[in-house]
Structure 1
Amino acid sequence: MKYEKMCKEILTIIGQENIVDVFHCVTRLRFIAKDKEKVDLKKLGEVEGVLQVKIVGNQIQCIIGPHVGEVYEDLCKVGEFEQKPEIDEEVGEEKTEKKKITFNTFLEGLSSIFMPLISVFCAGGMIKCLSIILSSCGILADGSGTLTLLDAIGDAPFYFLPFMVAYTTAKRFKLNELLGLMVAGVLMYPTIMENAGSGINFIGIHITCYSYASTVIPTVLCVILMAYIYRFVDKLIPKNLSLVFTGMISFTVFMPLLLWIIAPLGNHVANVLSVFFETLFHVAGPLGGAVFTGVMPFLVMTGTHSTLDPIIIQNFAKTGMDYMFPAFFLNNFAVAGATIGAALRIKDKSIKAAAISNGGLGILGITEPALFGVCTKYKAALIGSVVGGAIGGALYMFFHVYSYAYAMPGIFSIASYADKNNNMLWMILCLAITFVVSFVIGFVMNKEEK
Structure 2
Amino acid sequence: MNMAKKNYDELAQDIVRQIGGPENILSLTHCVTRLRFKLADEGKANTEEIKNIKGVMTVVQAGGQYQVVIGNDVDYAYAAVGRIPGIQLGGEAAAKEIKAPEEEKKSVLNMVVDTVSGIFMPVMPAMMAGGLLKALCVMLSSFGLVGIESTTYTIFYALGDAVLYFLPILLGSSAAKKFGANPFLGMAIGAVFVYPDLTALYKSGDAVTFLKIPVSLINYPQTVLPIIAACLLLAFVDKRLRGILPKVIARIFTPFLDLLITVPISLIVIGPITDVVGSAIANGVAALMKVAPPVTGFVVGAIWSLMIMLGMHFPLVMIEVNNLMTTGHMLMLPATFPATFAHTGAALGVALRTKNADLKDIGMSAFISGLFGNISEPAIYGVNLKYKRPFLCACLFTGIGGAIIAISGADCIINLGSISIYTMPAFVTLLPGGMGILLGVLVGFVGSAVTSFLTFSDSMIEK
State TM-score, norm by structure 2: 0.86
Is the counterpart of residue 20 in structure 1 residue 24 in structure 2?
yes
**Deviations, residues 180-210 of structure 1 (Å, cap 9, x unaligned):** 1111122222343223255422233212111
Q: Would the aligned equivalents of 1:52 and 1:63 in 2 still touch at CA under 8 Å? A: yes
Give 1:375's match in structure 2, choosing from 374, 384, 403. 384
Q: What is the match of residue 304 of structure 1? A: 312
The alpha carbon displacement at 1:144 in A equals: 3.9
CA contact (8 A) 2:130 2:161 kept: yes
Distance 2:383 2:91 in 1: 28
CA distances 1:119-146 after superposition (whole Å, capped 9, x unpaired): 1112112212222322333333444443
| 3-state SS in 2 of match to 1:377 | helix
Structure 1 CA distance, aligned partners of 2:94 and 2:249? 31
Q: Against the structure 1 CA distance between its residues 336 and 137, is the aligned structure 2 distance closer, same or farther, given a 3 Å change threshold?
A: same
CA deviation string 1:232-277 (max 9, x = no partner): 1132222222244223333334421222111211111111111111
Residue 75 (structure 1) shift: 3.6
Q: Which of 159, 170, 174 in structure 2 is aligned with 1:153?
A: 159
Letter in 2 for 1:20: N
Aligned-pair distance for 1:405? 2.7
Q: For residues 35-72 of structure 1, what are the alpha-carbon distances to aligned partners after superposition, in whole Å with 9 as ceiling and x for unaligned?
A: 94894x44432222221235669986533246434324
How far off its partner does 1:355 sit? 3.0
Match of 2:368 in 1: 360
Q: 2:11 is matched with which residue: 3, 6, 24?
A: 6
Residue by residue over 1:262-293, the C-alpha shift from the partner in whole angstroms, topping out at 9 and shown as x without a partner, is 12111111111111111111111122111111
Pick which of 182-191 and 276-285 moved more: 182-191
Q: RMSD value over aligned CA atoms? A: 3.1
Pick which of 56-65 and 262-271 moved more. Answer: 56-65
Q: 1:216 & 1:31 partners in 2: Cα distance?
A: 25
Q: Is the 8 A contact 2:282 2:327 kept in 1?
A: no
Q: Secondary structure of the equivalent of 1:295? A: helix
Deviation at 1:164, TM superposition (A): 0.4
1:339 matched to 2:347? yes
Say whether the 8 Å CA contact 1:170–1:180 is kept in structure 2: yes
2:412 is the alignment partner of 1:408: no
Aligned amino acid, residue 206 of structure 1: P
Residues 279 and 403 of structure 1: CA distance in aligned 2, closer, same or farther (over 3 Å): same
Letter aligned with residue 436 of structure 1: V
Q: Does 1:177 align with 2:183?
A: yes
- Quote the Cα distance in structure 1 between the aligned partners of 2:337 and 2:131: 14
One-letter code of the match for 1:3? Y
How far apart, CA to CA, are the structure 2 residues paired with 1:287 and 1:56?
A: 27
The answer on 1:119 being equivalent to 2:137 is no
1:436 maps to 446
Trace 1:6-85 onto structure 2 (pairs within 5 A).
6-10=11-15, 20-21=24-25, 23-26=27-30, 27-28=34-35, 30=37, 32=39, 36=43, 39=46, 41-54=47-60, 61-65=67-71, 67-77=73-83, 80-85=85-90
Alignment CA distance shift 1:366-1:93 (3 Å)? farther
**2:132 is equivalent to residue 132 of structure 1:** no
Contact 2:29–2:89, Cα closer than 8 Å, also in 1: no
Output the amino acid matched with 1:108: D
Distance in 1 between residues matched to 2:95 and 2:396, nearest whole Å: 40
1:426 lines up with 2:426 in the alignment: no
The amino acid that maps onto 1:6 is L
- Rounded to whole Å, the distance in 2 between the matches of 1:113 and 1:304 is 14
1:165/1:220 contact within 8 Å kept: yes
Task: Give deviations 1:289-312, integer Å, cap 9, x for gaps.
Answer: 111111111111112210022232
Mapped to 2, the partners of 1:333 and 1:359 lie a distance apart of: 9
Residues 87, 112 of structure 1: 8 Å contact kept: no
- Report the 3-state secondary structure (helix = DSSP H, G, I; strand = E; otherwise coil) of the residue aligned with 2:313: helix
Identity over aligned pairs, percent: 27
* Cα contact 2:141–2:148 (8 A) shared by 1: yes
Whether the 8 Å CA contact 1:21–1:91 is kept in 2: the answer is no
Q: Which moved more, 1:317-326 or 1:334-343?
A: 317-326
- Checking the alignment, whether the CA contact within 8 Å between 2:278 and 2:323 is kept in structure 1 is no
Alpha carbons 1:328, 1:409 under 8 Å: kept: no
Question: Contact 1:404/1:418 (CA < 8 Å) preserved in 2?
Answer: no
* Comparing 87-96 and 146-155, the one that deviates more: 87-96
Q: Paired residue for 1:225?
A: 233
Moved more, 188-197 or 218-227: 188-197
Q: Is the 8 A contact 2:334 2:412 kept in 1?
A: yes
Alpha carbons of structure 1 residues 75 and 151: separation in structure 2 relative to 1, 3 Å = closer
Report the more deviating stretch, 205-214 or 53-62: 53-62
1:28 and 1:343, CA in 2 relative to 1: closer, same or farther beyond 3 A? Answer: farther
User: Which amino acid in the other structure matches residue 100 of structure 1?
Assistant: K
- Look up the match of 1:393: 402
Gaps of 5+ in 2: none
Q: Identify unmatched segments of 5+ residues in structure 1.
A: none
- Cα distance in 1 for residues equivalent to 2:212 and 2:94: 42
- Tell me, yes or no, if the aligned pair for 1:342 and 1:380 is still in contact at 8 Å: no
Amino acid at match of 1:442: S
Matched with 1:192 is 198
Query: How do 1:198-277 residues align onto structure 2 when only pairs under 5 Å count?
Result: 199-277=207-285
Give the Å deviation of 1:390.
Answer: 1.4
| Residues 349, 74 of structure 1: alpha-carbon distance in 2 compared, 3 angstrom cutoff | farther
Question: Measured at CA, do residues 258 and 144 of structure 1 come closer, stay the same or move farther in structure 2, by a change above 3 Å?
Answer: same
Offset at residue 4 of structure 1 (A)? 3.0
1:9, distance to aligned residue in structure 2 (A)? 4.3
Please give the alpha-carbon distance, in whole angstroms, between the structure 2 residues aligned to 1:73 and 1:177: 23
In the aligned structure 2, how far is the partner of 1:101 from the partner of 1:90?
23
SS at match of 2:121: helix
